[in-house]
Amino acid sequence: MKLEQLKIAYVCYKDVGTFDSPVEDEESVLFNFLRDKGLQLTKVIWNDDRVDWKSFDLALLKSPWDYFEVIDTFYSWLTHLDEIKLPLLNPTDLVKWNADKHYLAEIADAGLPVIPTAYINKGTRLELETFFERFKTDQIIIKPCVSGGSFHTFKVTKENLEEIQNKVQLLLKTMDFMVQPFIPEVQIEGEWSLLFFNGKFSHCLLKKAKSGDFRVQHFLGGTIHPQQPSEAMLKSAKQYVDQFAKSSLYARVDGVMIDETFTLMELELIEPYMFLFTDVEGYENYYKALKEKMEG
């Protein structure tokens, strides 16, 4: 069936302004771009009980940006799509895998460079101080394993250790956490994002945190700098997609250069902002990949 003949659910979230930013409203621009291509898109909220998912031929996952706040509901929704056999892009099994950052351990076990990560199961008595020695650092980052947008993310030093430990100990009653060494290269150079559509490289950018911060997200004041990756960086980033996201329509590989090695921070397969406006072919590359995927 031709892509233009499919009834497509364009899946978003109930926007309450949490992720508003001064950059382009990619959700709306991409929606209109695809509509102008002749696609039958309907914008829907992923957890809106009024949506009749059986009325669609395809669900296109764009911005379910609040999924990690209600993760059990999100998992149930994915299961429902499987039960009614509604195809989702990216596929439900890939989305479920990517929702919990324990996936980083699987990637590391495969031998690909990943920021060192330790996991703390919910209900565990937290001893944050031990991680300074474990990672040979005086600054660590701790955040939930199911998270996004710097949700409950803390930078820990020996000065604020007690304060953060008390906060996280309460949160550990209901969620798992992960601990990583703070990577100074994020503040010095920035975090790289390479975008792939159907496994093919599209475009690249460098995200930099605002002065005095470590969070690079644009809705938190970070800045965006389009870049052309080196051949070595592109080859390294593509390995993560080839080994762990081969069935994906879209993938954003976030990493940092450490001692000239591209090292993964996150493989974003659920709701990444794709910075399509930073490349003249960004929107067209997305459309072509979608058409190729659905029509072969």
Q: Are residues 81 and 122 in the same domain?
A: no
Say if residue 94 is in the same domain as residue 8.
yes
Q: Residues 216, 255: one domain?
A: yes
- Same-domain status, 144 and 280: no
Contact 202, 196 (CB under 8 A): yes
* Statement to judge: residues 192 and 257 lie in one domain: yes
What pTM was computed for the model? 0.93
Residues 232 and 259 placed together within one structural domain of the fold: yes
Query: Strand, coil or helix: what is 257?
Result: strand
Show which of 129, 151, 182 is a domain's final residue.
182
pLDDT at 188: 86
Residue 155: give the domain boundaries.
Answer: 118-182
Whether residue 244 sits in one domain with residue 107: yes
Q: What is the pLDDT along the chain (296 residues), one digit of tens a residue?
A: 899 999 999 999 998 666 666 678 999 999 999 999 999 999 999 999 999 999 999 999 999 999 999 999 999 999 999 999 999 999 999 999 999 999 999 999 999 999 999 999 999 999 999 999 999 999 999 999 999 877 889 999 999 999 999 999 999 999 999 999 999 998 888 999 999 999 999 999 999 876 655 555 555 556 899 999 999 999 999 999 999 999 999 999 999 999 999 999 999 999 999 999 999 999 999 999 999 999 98
108 and 216 share a domain?
yes
pLDDT for 170: 95
CA distance 222 to 273: 13
Residues 168 and 193 in one domain: no
Number of structural domains in the chain: 3
H helices present in 227-280, as ranges: 231-244
- CA triplet 294, 65, 172: central angle to 5 degrees? 125
User: CA nearest 34: which of 279, 261, 201, 284?
Assistant: 284
Which CATH number do you get for residue 238? 3.30.470.20
Give me the amino acid identity at 186.
V
Same domain as 169, residue 192: no
219 and 107: one domain? yes
CATH of the domain at 74: 3.40.50.20
